[in-house]
Amino acid sequence: MKIIAVDNFARETEADILVATGIVSEDYGQVMRDALQDKYGGNDAPQYYRLVEDAYVLSRGLADMI
């Protein structure tokens, strides 16, 4: 599993950011994600954090549209 940061305002031009990879369990990943969200997230934060499967392909933002 991995943790990514995605745009909080759903702008398709913003790329996803890989924050952590190689997370061995979903429980551990949720603790990490919640800690990141509590510290750096929020309604007005530029990103929010998601726990996704290893197969998830990161969006490259504007580069995906060209």
Distance CA 49, CA 63 (A): 21
State pLDDT tens for residues 21-56.
Answer: 999 999 999 999 999 999 998 888 999 999 999 999
CA atoms within 13 A on the CB side of 7: 12
What's the pTM value of the predicted model, to 2 decimals? Answer: 0.86
pLDDT of res. 15:
94
State pLDDT tens for residues 4-17.
Answer: 999 999 888 899 99
Query: How sure is the predictor about 1, in pLDDT bands with cuts at 50, 70 and 90?
Result: very high
How remote is the C-alpha of 4 from its chain's centroid?
Answer: 2
